[in-house]
Amino acid sequence: MGERLTAGEVCMREVVIAQRETPILEAAELMRGQHVGCLVVVEENGIHRKVCGLLTDRDLVMGVLAQGLDAEPLCTEDIMTESPATLREDDSLIDVMRSMRRNGVRRLPVVTAEHALVGLVTLDDVLKLLSEELGLLIGAIQGQIANERHKRP
């Protein structure tokens, strides 16, 4: 891990996307087929994919299934989170964690200054990185103990 790890370095660059008009059943099938818990909803203008929403598995459950709605006529924009919180590529790992906590979310799209999609950072990604760093710290403690035993048997 570098001196200042950024959202752009941590994020997954291959993101599963949908459009506003994607039917909900198709979105659910896409999530299942790609083994993901969310889709980043984008508007494509030929050059960039601009983030306009986020659709999660929880949105499907709480917004459709739990209410007993017929999913057939619904599309992504009907239940997605509109204008979700996002991160810039150069936001720090601390910024990522603070934004997740502040917004109460587990996933954050990473965007350029023009709001073009770059990637997606998930809580799982952050936890994996932090666990690796904690492993290094544990190694330092164990090394100190071994060094002490070697110097003072």
Beta bridge partners of 49: 44
Kind plus residue range of the DSSP H or E element containing 51: strand 49-56
| Tokens (6 digits) for 98 | 């603070």
Give the mean pLDDT per block of 10 residues along the chain (153 residues). Answer: 77 95 97 96 90 96 94 96 95 94 96 92 89 72 66 73
Query: At residue 151, what is the residue type?
Result: K
Q: How many residues does the chain have?
A: 153
Q: Tell me how far apart the alpha carbons of residues 17 and 135 are, in angstroms, rounded to a whole number.
A: 34
Per-residue model confidence (pLDDT) at position 144: 66
Per-residue model confidence (pLDDT) at position 2: 47
Residue appearing with tokens 């709001």: 115
Q: Tell me how far apart the alpha carbons of residues 58 and 27 are, in angstroms, rounded to a whole number.
A: 13
Per-residue model confidence (pLDDT) at position 129: 84
Q: Tell me how far apart the alpha carbons of residues 63 and 120 are, in angstroms, rounded to a whole number.
A: 23
Q: Global pTM?
A: 0.82
